[in-house]
Amino acid sequence: MATTSFVYPPPTDGKPFRLVMGLRQLDPANFLEGGSDLLTQIQERNQIIELKREIVFQALPDFTDPAEQFKELILQNLRQFHSQTYQITGKNLIEHKPSGIKVDLDTDHPFVCLGRIIPEDLCLMSRIENEWVLTAGLVAYPSRWSLQEKIGQGLDQIHQPVPDYQKALQPVMTPTFDKLVWQRPVWRLNWALHSSPQLHQPTAVHMDADPWDYWWRTERQTLTKLEGRDHILFTIRNRTEPLSLIKQNPEAAKGFGEALASLSPETIAYKGLSKQHQQIVDALCSLKLGN
């Protein structure tokens, strides 16, 4: 990997880990992200959709219309902010110009078509009977969760496995979704440490690895509400980068190590770090200034 710094770095202030939503206002120019991994991801996503469609795509009946409207919002954003990378011909044909990859947007569900040409995973959340329900999704890069199991579930059921969710987030999750307005999309960051750089992990891929061979995985998530309707588009831009990049800044490594050391046993298990958590903490905290 050519990059010498993280796109989104680990937390380095040494503060104890807290489960928070951490929403920030989203600049429309940053709604969709490019990057050096864009072409590789597009090629891989096409293969995954072809070979594992039922794993990465699910949709409830009667929710194609809001997905189509979000498709139009994405196309508008690509025209406005990514015209050097994408060419859109008429309403139906989109091309990733550097690779020549083309997708006819009328050939399949809008999320499936878009999932072949942009790196973001796409989930549709719809308000049904007083809760926000996952009604459609194209998730090529799940981080140890199953779209087949989550489709049709509400927010609280989806997040039930997350440690401390009931106490920290359940009281505010639905009200926060309710308060979103179409003029003010938001974004947040989620992270994990994996022993494999593999992004497509509907089930965990574990392997013994030296702490410096671990991968820093980020999910840059956005929430955009549809104007005048109770539908929200949830996008996920996934990346894995070598954890060893942090060795360039021993103070930052120490701060992240201290934050990692604060994880509860339940969170350590949830993040799949039970076996090597302490080894990673020790490695991060052992670097000396000038190394």
Strand order across the beta sheet in which 24-25 lies: 24-25, 186-194, 215-225, 231-242, 121-128, 131-138, 57-59
State the pTM of this model: 0.95
Cβ atoms within 10 Å of 274's Cβ, excluding its own: 11
Task: Judge whether 121 and 139 are in contact, CB under 8 Å.
Answer: yes
Question: Comparing C-alpha atoms, which of 54, 35, 15 is closest to residue 202?
Answer: 54
- Average pLDDT along the chain: 95
Task: Judge whether 218 and 7 are in contact, CB under 8 Å.
Answer: yes
DSSP states along 127-140: EETTEEEEEEEE-S
Q: What is the pLDDT of residue 34?
A: 92
Is residue 170 helix, strand or coil? helix
Minimum mean pLDDT range among 4-13, 29-38, 64-73, 77-86: 4-13
Cβ atoms within 10 Å of 125's Cβ, excluding its own: 24
Q: What is the pLDDT of residues 108-145, one digit of tens each?
A: 999 999 999 999 999 999 999 999 999 999 999 999 99
Q: What is the pLDDT of residue 1?
A: 36
Q: Which class for 48: exposed (0-12), middle (13-18), buried (19 or more C-beta within 10 A)?
A: buried
pLDDT band for 225, please (50, 70, 90 cuts): very high
Q: Is the pLDDT of residue 2 over 70?
A: no
Question: Comparing C-alpha atoms, which of 190, 138, 140 is closest to residue 162?
Answer: 190
Q: Is the pLDDT of residue 3 over 50?
A: no
Q: What is the pLDDT of residue 290?
A: 56
Q: What is the pLDDT of residue 288?
A: 80
Q: What is the pLDDT of residue 207?
A: 81
Q: What is the pLDDT of residue 4?
A: 62
Q: What is the pLDDT of residues 178-224, one digit of tens each?
A: 999 999 999 999 999 999 999 999 998 888 899 999 999 999 999 99
Q: What is the pLDDT of residues 65-77, one digit of tens each?
A: 999 999 999 999 9
What's the average model confidence in pLDDT over 18-23?
94
Q: What percent of the chain has pLDDT over 90?
A: 94
Q: Is the pLDDT of residue 94 over 70?
A: yes
